[in-house]
Chains A and B, each alone.
Chain A
Amino acid sequence: MKKKIVSLMLVSAMAVSMVACGSSDSGSGSSSGSTASSGDSASTESGSGASEGGDTLTVWCWDPAFNIFSMEEAAKVYQKDHPDVTVNVVETPWEDVQTKLTTAATSGDLSTLPDILLMQDNAFQKNVISYPDAFTDLADSGIDFSQFAEGKTAYSVVDGKNYGVPFDNGAVIGCYRTDILEQAGLTIDDFTDITWDQYIENGKKVLEATGKPLISMQAGECDLIMMMLQSAGSSLFNEDGTANIVNNDALKVVAETYKELKDAGVLIEVNSWDEYVGSITNGDVAGTINGCWIMASIQTAEDQSGNWGITNMPSLVGVDDATNYSNNGGSSWAVTANCQNKELAFDFLASTFAGSTELYDNILSCGAIATWAPAGDSTAYAEPNEFFGGDAVSAKIVDYATKVPSNITGVYYYEARDAVATAITNVIAGSDIETELQTAEDTVNFNMGQ
């Protein structure tokens, strides 16, 4: 009997410890995935939650070569004046940031969130409106938002309040292989300040001379559609949040233009992002149009150095307010409601990403081009880039960014984007534009109704 009682106790002890293990797991969270920033700011905290007051800021962002690098540079700049402050950068992929944010906000326990997190611009409205309690209004931060490009700040403004400090630039650039254009008797100037009609004409010439399409795009994703739409200052939503698809004349022109591009063979659709980048770097296409961050991918093809040129994108024909400038992608820093030392977080952001030309000069090497106007005046931005034919591309992009029309992403951005992508796919396959756009609007309205 004694033996049995002992074994029973052992079993129950095991059960208790197993359950305890299970629950304590969530507490220690992703500390294993943390990449302590520079040597002197190694974190001593367990877990990824916000720092307990004091002089430490915990930050979530995802790209070691890009935004993590930038955040660490910002920490170095800030530490010059504030040697006691440490910044603990935790590498967290965007999908994980979104999932963790969703989990924290829906469970009502915000303590797992960091002090500052990087947010995709397209998801900003959705998250702030879905989880208003998880973010901090930056009105008292002392940051002068008028120094940022207007089209960029608009992403992180909800109900007239600023919730984000803009980080990287997503200004759209047209990149072209000048050596391929030459074979068709064209130069980069033939693609500057043009309309899509001229673009298609040029594209046909290039196709005839070299057999290469001008541009590749990922099928089923509507990056180019959204870029075209924003270039005319148009959005898939109205100011009041209602869908603006069927009665959106600019969108109709965009759909027609896209179909025309595809039918003429000037645009080729590929299946995945890897194929898309591959088609550019392998020289299967004569160029691309995308956010300026695409330069980092293009520059991996080192053998093509000097054969690339950069200019603005074509403008829509027959649409009021059509411009040659747009935006795609980019992200902004948000301060969470879990931040215990808001003054420090505000001051940190105000004196780095919203106040230090030195920082922006330092991070130019990784392709992070500022949306903060004073940074563009720095001499570093005027330096020529040999890869792009000795052009001062950074200064050019900062100039483009200031001209980007602002648009409304709305809360239901991803729903609308997918619905429009479906419509465009069907239009290319031969369906009627009006009916497809009506279906898209119905889908979006259905999703917005609870």
Chain B
Amino acid sequence: MSKPSKKMSLDKKHNLTGWAFLTPAALLILVMSFVPMVKALILSFQTGVGAAMKPCGIANYSRMFKDTVFMQSVKNTFFYLIIQVPIMLVLALILASILNNRNLRFKGLFRTMIFLPCATSLVAYATIFRSLFANNGIINLALTKLGILDAPYSFLTHPTSAKIVIIIGLLWRWTGYNMVFYLSGLQNIEYSVYEAAKIDGASPIQTFFKITVPLLKPTILLTAIMSTNGTLQLFDESVNLTDGGPANASITMSHYIYNMSFKYVPNFGYAAAMSFFILILVAILAFIQMKVGDKRD
């Protein structure tokens, strides 16, 4: 093997090694992720049925604002976002600070139990929730036997209750997941800070609001952005739990995009445009949250 005539400097050599290790992964990401994204962007400016596509400018983007079903799906998704995310994050925060108590027994057991829902598949839990809330499901059975309801209430065929069932499902599935982030964030807070507060006579509520929440701010920001992102892309629950019903009252944006591509006459250009609409929404919301959450300057 011929040696390079000019010796490379140490820095250059290190750089080269670094690039050599980065290249395979970077290439794979480029081919598998960025090329399809650019292709989808080009597709979103085309229209046509099936394979016959022709350019159409921004028609797909203006079309979605006239699409009543898509607008309904945007409304539904924001309903989930506004109601579910705050409840979930507050609940996760409370659970995390309870389970962070050093004197609590069986901590590991409780933590595992609350985290366990995250290990279930989305489709499986959605299907189980559907049967729980069925006319002859266990929830209706319990409510009628306890005398709260006279006759079974059809949760999934009423617009509001169908949305609430989805929110309950989401809370069950994701609260433990966010709790784990808070728990790990809490490990970085010195226990002596709490002890000092205790000696100074601070109540648990005061400790929570004056110490836990401010010190956890970066983690809270992270979970808020992740939850927003996840909720805007909500798909499995809408498809499997309610099938978007009744009368599109619980359909999400991603579910509608799926229908547009695979259930209805395929209109991939329009579907791609709607996907980019979600991307823009996620970007805007994440930007706002970062501006609101970051008070460093």
- Could you tell me which A residues sit within 8 Å of B by CB distance? 1-2, 4-5, 7-8, 11-12, 14-15, 18-19, 22, 95, 98-99, 102, 105-108, 126, 129-131, 219-220, 268-272, 274-275, 278, 284, 411-412, 414-415, 418, 421-423, 425-426, 429, 439, 442-443, 446-447, 450
Contacts and interface: CB of A to CB of B under 8 A. Distances in A.
A130 B246 contact: no
Looking at chain A's contact residues, the main secondary structure is helix
Given A99-B262, A275-B136, A15 B24 contact: yes
Given A4-B17, A5-B1, A271 B266 contact: no
Interface in B127-153: 130-131, 133-136
Contacts of B133: 271
Given A11-B24, A219-B245, A425-B246, A450 B266 contact: no
A14 B247 CA distance: 52
B48 A102 contact: no
Interface in B240-267: 243-248, 259, 261-267
Contacts of B263: 414
B65 to A, nearest CB: 12
A271 B31 contact: no
B196 interface: no
Nearest to B19: A8
Contacts of B265: 126, 130, 411-412, 414-415, 447
B157 A106 contact: no
Report, as a range, how many residues of chain B touch the other chain: 35 or more
Given A102-B262, A105-B51, A12 B247 contact: no
Interface of B: 1, 3, 13, 17, 20-21, 23-24, 27-28, 31-32, 47-51, 56, 59, 66-69, 130-131, 133-136, 154, 156-157, 243-248, 259, 261-268
A16 to B, nearest CB: 9
27 contacts: A8-B20, A11-B23, A14-B24, A22-B28, A102-B261, A102-B262, A129-B49, A131-B51, A219-B157, A219-B246, A220-B247, A270-B134, A270-B135, A271-B130, A271-B154, A271-B156, A274-B131, A275-B134, A275-B135, A275-B136, A412-B264, A414-B263, A414-B265, A415-B264, A443-B68, A446-B66, A450-B267
A105 B138 CA distance: 46
A135 to B, nearest CB: 12
Nearest to B243: A220
A24 B259 CA distance: 30
Contacts of A14: 24
With a 10 A CB-CB cut-off, give which of B1, B246, B261, B268 has the most chain A CB atoms. Answer: B246
Contacts of A19: 27-28, 31
Contacts of B17: 4
A15 B264 contact: no
Nearest to A427: B247
B245 A18 contact: no
A131 B66 contact: no
Contacts of A269: 154, 157
Contact of B247 (A98, A99, A426): A426
B130 to A, nearest CB: 6
Most buried by A among B24, B49, B136, B247: B247
Nearest to B20: A8
Contacts of B13: 4
B262 A425 contact: no
A106 B51 contact: yes
Nearest to A426: B247
A414 B261 CA distance: 12
A338 to B, nearest CB: 15
Which of B50, B56, B266 has the most chain A CB within a 10 Å cutoff? B50
Given A271-B157, A446-B67, A422 B247 contact: yes
B245 A220 contact: yes
Contact of A450 (B3, B47, B51, B261): B47
Contacts of A102: 50, 261-262, 266
Given A268-B135, A269-B154, A425-B246, 5 more contacts: A14-B24, A19-B31, A275-B135, A414-B263, A425-B247
The 4 residue pairs across chains A and B that have the minimum distance between CB atoms: A15-B24, A130-B50, A220-B245, A425-B247
B157 A15 contact: no
Contact of B264 (A131, A414, A439): A414
B245 A108 contact: no
A12 B23 CA distance: 8
B32 A22 contact: yes
Nearest to B240: A272
A1 B247 contact: no
